[in-house]
């Protein structure tokens, strides 16, 4: 029987883009992913569609799976020949029990690897504007667990030694903060030593509370501050006043669900992240395509008799060729003039061996399409679009027949879909008119009242035609930061995580 392996992967501190490349590659080849509470669920998008996902999150006094069962699960799945990824928040070796779990694998003859991750003890303070070292403030840092065990007094940290360290970073210490404070003061730490707690660091819901060591427990209690949080104790905390870069961004505290197919420097996801939003890409799937039904939807059986074939986008090209394949249609029989709305659509057609006779260069309503086409008397144009089906009669008996095909749908069956509730997002955003139908499905019955950020004139126009009332307009993604910055100044951006 072939033995599989276990890969212990650090998921990073929360922001899914802080996962390492090696960690991403491990997820991509995993058959089973065992993930914990602090691993961002968006990371599961890197896993194969058929990978088994097992949650084993641990919260105070409540464990989904006890540690012994987690150990047995890793061994059992690996013994079946599976590649198992144990996805741990932060770095797996920083108070993450990777040593214990790796020893269990070793004792059962299971090969394993350990992929380091960015630990929250370093990342969360940096996102709060607190570098852990600075030549003018300190030359030593200690990382300590604040999860103190009453049964093992001999495992207590050496508080007398730690009181001498210039910067302390404490994990899992919120519950025991009064005791930690008392121990440090008792062993000589100055009462005015600056302290900061960073909760949910690197995410849009990041919160930071700062104060003095002598009163920090009262400050935290008054703020209603709870775990999980990183505690930083030391003079470097004073730098937060000038170096707080993340929490000052225009869209900090905003969670945005994004439907987009664009990539690159000015993609909607990238620009939103640059202005501080926490971005969640919405799971989408291409609409299934069938032949024309009673409502006129789908590509008609006699499509080859049309004199013109017009395509909105690459999605419509893809849908059209899937239909040709299903019908076993010989492309050499096609005699129609081919029209693309834009250059990207033209490229998609050329890749399939169809070279457009006309590239319009911009999206136009179906009702105006005949003005762009040199239709002769009685000629018919088949417009393959994401719009609703319609037949429009023109002068001299010419006809434009618009069929709905190649759109996108919200995919509620996607493994990530259970984390997407439309009311948990401040915004819904898109730069693609082909996604608008999917967004109405995602947003639910009250979709017209959801705040929709639209980028691009075509997307804006289509959203308004559909009846979306809360539309925030931006003509170009490059100007998005400027538009959102102006909204924040005007007081129109209210954080969801307030």
Annotated catalytic residue 172: yes
Query: CA geometry: angle at 373 spanning 434 and 349, to 5°?
Result: 50
Distance of CA 361 to the CA centre of its chain: 32
Instruction: Tell me how crowded residue 225 is: count the other CB atoms within 10 A of its CB.
Output: 16
Alpha-carbon Rg for the chain in angstroms: 28
Distance of CA 11 to the CA centre of its chain: 14
Q: Given 15, 31, 36, 411, which residue is catalytic? A: 36
Contact 382, 316 (CB under 8 A): no
Q: Given 15, 31, 91, 172, which residue is catalytic? A: 172
Annotated catalytic residue 58: yes
Closest CA to 73 of 50, 116, 104: 104
Distance of CA 429 to the CA centre of its chain: 13
* Crossing angle of the two packed helices 457-466 and 436-443, in degrees rounded to 10: 50
Contact 258, 439 (CB under 8 A): no
Distance, in Å, from the CA atom of 403 to the CA atom of 405, rounded to the nearest integer, reads: 6
Closest CA to 63 of 71, 53, 55: 55
Q: Which residue has the tokens 């002068």?
A: 395
Beta strands, E only, 43-90: 52-55, 58-59, 62-63, 83-88
The helix/strand/coil state of 84 is strand
Q: Given 22, 24, 58, 357, which residue is catalytic? A: 58
Q: Which residue has the tokens 């997307």?
A: 459
Query: CA geometry: angle at 285 spanning 279 and 289, to 5°?
Result: 155
DSSP 134: B
Distance, in Å, from the CA atom of 53 to the CA atom of 47, rounded to the nearest integer, reads: 9
Catalytic residues, which ones? 36, 58, 172
């Amino acid at each position: 029987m072939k033995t599989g392996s276990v890969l212990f992967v650090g998921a990073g501190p929360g922001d899914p883009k802080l996962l390492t490349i090696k960690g991403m590659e491990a997820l991509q080849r995993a058959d089973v992913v065992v993930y914990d509470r602090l691993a961002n669920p968006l990371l599961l998008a890197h896993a194969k569609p058929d990978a088994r996902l097992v949650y084993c999150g641990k919260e105070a006094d409540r464990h989904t799976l006890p540690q012994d069962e987690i150990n047995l699960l890793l061994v059992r799945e690996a013994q079946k020949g599976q590649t198992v990824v144990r996805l741990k928040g932060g770095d797996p070796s920083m108070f993450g029990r990777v040593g214990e779990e790796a020893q269990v694998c070793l004792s059962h003859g299971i090969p394993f690897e350990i992929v380091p991750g960015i630990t929250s003890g370093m990342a969360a303070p940096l996102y709060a504007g607190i570098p852990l070292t600075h030549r003018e403030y300190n030359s030593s840092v200690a990382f300590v667990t604040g999860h103190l065990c009453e049964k093992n007094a001999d495992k207590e940290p050496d508080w007398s030694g730690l009181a001498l360290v210039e910067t302390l970073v404490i994990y899992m210490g919120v519950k025991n903060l009064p005791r930690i404070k008392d121990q440090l003061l008792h062993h000589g730490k100055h009462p005015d030593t600056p302290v900061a707690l960073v909760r949910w660091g690197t995410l849009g819901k990041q919160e930071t509370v700062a104060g003095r060591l002598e009163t920090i427990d009262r400050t935290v209690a008054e703020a209603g501050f709870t775990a999980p949080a990183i505690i930083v104790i030391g003079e470097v905390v004073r730098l937060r006043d000038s170096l707080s870069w993340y929490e000052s961004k225009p869209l900090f505290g905003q969670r945005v669900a994004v439907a987009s197919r664009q990539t690159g420097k000015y993609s909607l996801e990238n620009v939103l992240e640059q202005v501080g939003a926490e971005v969640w890409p919405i799971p989408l799937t291409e609409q299934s395509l069938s032949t024309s039904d009673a409502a006129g939807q789908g590509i008609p059986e006699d499509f080859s008799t049309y004199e013109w074939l017009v395509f909105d986008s690459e999605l419509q090209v893809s849908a059209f060729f899937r239909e040709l394949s299903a019908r076993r249609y010989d492309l050499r029989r096609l005699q129609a003039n081919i029209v693309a709305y834009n250059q990207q659509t033209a490229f998609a057609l050329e890749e399939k061996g169809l070279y457009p006779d006309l590239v319009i260069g911009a999206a136009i309503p179906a009702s105006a399409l005949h003005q762009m086409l040199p239709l002769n008397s009685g000629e018919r144009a088949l417009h393959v679009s994401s719009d609703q089906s319609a037949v429009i009669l023109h002068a001299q008996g010419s006809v434009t027949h618009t069929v709905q095909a190649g759109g996108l749908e919200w995919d509620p069956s996607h493994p990530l879909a259970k984390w997407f509730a439309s009311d948990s997002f401040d915004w819904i955003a898109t730069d693609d008119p082909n996604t608008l139908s999917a967004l109405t499905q995602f947003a639910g019955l009250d979709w017209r009242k959801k705040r929709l950020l639209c980028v691009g004139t075509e997307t804006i126009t289509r959203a308004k035609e559909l009846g979306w009332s809360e539309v925030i307009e931006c003509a170009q993604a490059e100007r998005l930061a400027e538009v959102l910055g102006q909204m924040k100044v005007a007081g129109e951006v209210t954080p969801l995580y307030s």
